[in-house]
Amino acid sequence: MFARKLSSWFLITGFTIVALASSKPWGKTPAGETVDLYTLRNAKGMEANISTYGGVIVSLKVPDRAGKLGDVVLGFDDFKGYLLPPPYFGALIGRYGNRIGHAQFTLDGIVHHLAKNDGDNTLHGGLRGFDKVIWKATSLSPTSLQLTYLSKDGEEGFPGNLSAKVVYTVTPNNELRIDYSATTDKDTVVNLTNHSYFNLAGEGQGDILGDELTINADRYTPVDKGLIPTGELRSVKGTPFDFTQPHVIGERINANDQQLVFAKGYDQNFVLNHPGLTTVAAKARDPKTGRIVEVLTTEPGLQFYTSNFLDGTIHGKGGKIYAKHAAICMETQHFPDSPNKPSFPSSELKPGQTYHTTTIYRFSTDAQK
């Protein structure tokens, strides 16, 4: 017993003993694959639980302004909840985050037909995206976990064997850092993200309409009624999409704007003014608990989604009901449908190149400011 516990927490390499993240078996898939749950924790008590199924962030505990830890992501207590169809709570998304129109794209003159799982379109990688596969886990330290997955040539219709690697790190500054990388053996497209549903008041604690939000974006990519970008980069000025100054999310969500009607709320990609890890791309604050999350990313886009498609039928952790607008998603990404939009930043990856992106979710409270 002692030896088993020791071996799961420590790696003895030569004369040094390296501390690892703790883990426990969390269940088995219907196919009999083992699912493990890893815990990353920093010295301040911030804690992330991550599942090898879908690379899901199952829980994320951060302090409020009184120092009380709370779980700020929607999800399930039991891993079986994640076997159900969307909404992709906390999951890694690939090969292609968000939608590809008509479930096809042309690369090097070849038309690639993808799995359709959203009407005529492909959403979040298809029927069995990266959210529904088992990732191989390697603990790098008590605060860092590496997940890898080999997506075979032709999986969900995408070309090339794609080796994907994601490293989750809980930093000493209460940040959750996500480093994504990938290589391929054939020309392909790739767009990886994480689909956490944040409620800074705590998961299941009402809606997010009272949260205050800033997005450092002067433009966004409007969509058609199938939520596929039209190709236009539209100015946010004078519209409900202007979050360049802080606005309460609920203030304009029901405005008479065709984009809000199409999406039943916010569900658009924002064109970030300054991608990179030195500028805050988005910031949300819950006035009740004082919790703040700031998003920093090397990606050019951010999907701001107000969980419009949650309808109260999902019972999450502790049986809590997750209704419409129970969370916000801030999915960092290349723009939706880029493989069919030559004017958007390219999502192509070629053999010999390494895809690499980083996103940081930095937590603090308004008591610290």
The active-site residue, picked from 124, 156, 175, 195, is: 195
Q: Note whether 88 binds ligand BGC by CB under 6 A.
A: yes
**124: buried, middle or exposed (CB in 10 Å: 19+, 13-18, 0-12)?**
buried
Of residues 23, 59, 98, 259, which one binds ligand BGC by CB under 6 A? 98
* Minimal distance, residue 142 CB to ligand BGC, in Å: 31
CA distance 122 to 118: 6
Return the residues of window 287-306 that contact ligand BGC according to CB under 6 A: 303, 305
Neighbours of 30 (CB within 10 A): 7
Task: Confirm whether 331 is a catalytic residue.
Answer: yes
Partners of residue 224 on adjacent β-strands: none
The token pair that represents 349 in the structure block: 């990856």
Q: Which is nearer to ligand BGC, 38 or 89 (CB)?
A: 89
Q: Is 101 helix (H, G, I), strand (E, B) or coil?
A: helix
Task: Confirm whether 195 is a catalytic residue.
Answer: yes
Which listed range, 49-57, 81-89, 271-279, 337-345, lies at the site for ligand BGC (CB under 6 A)?
Answer: 81-89
Site string for ligand BGC, 214-243 (x = CB under 6 A): -------------x----------------
* Minimal distance, residue 54 CB to ligand BGC, in Å: 13
Cα dihedral 312, 313, 317, 323, rounded to 10, equals -10
Q: Which is nearer to ligand BGC, 275 or 301 (CB)?
A: 301
Angle at 306 between CA 301 and CA 311, to 5 degrees: 140
Q: Which is nearer to ligand BGC, 164 or 327 (CB)?
A: 327
CA distance 98 to 190: 11
Site string for ligand BGC, 330-369 (x = CB under 6 A): -x--------------------------------------
Long-range contacts made by residues 152-155, C-beta under 8 angstroms, separation at least 24?
Answer: 153/185, 153/186, 155/95, 155/128
Of residues 113, 153, 172, 309, which one binds ligand BGC by CB under 6 A? 309
Cβ atoms of residues 231 and 343 within 8 Å = yes
Q: How many helices (H) and strands (E) does the chain have?
A: 2, 31
Give the count of residues interacting with ligand BGC (CB under 6 A).
11
* Minimal distance, residue 124 CB to ligand BGC, in Å: 6
Q: Is the dihedral of CA 305, 310, 311, 316 positive or negative?
A: negative
* Minimal distance, residue 308 CB to ligand BGC, in Å: 7
* Minimal distance, residue 269 CB to ligand BGC, in Å: 8
* Minimal distance, residue 102 CB to ligand BGC, in Å: 16
CA distance 307 to 316: 14
Cβ atoms of residues 224 and 230 within 8 Å = yes
Tell me the catalytic residues: 195, 331
- Interface positions with ligand BGC (CB under 6 A): 86-88, 98, 227, 267, 303, 305, 309, 329, 331
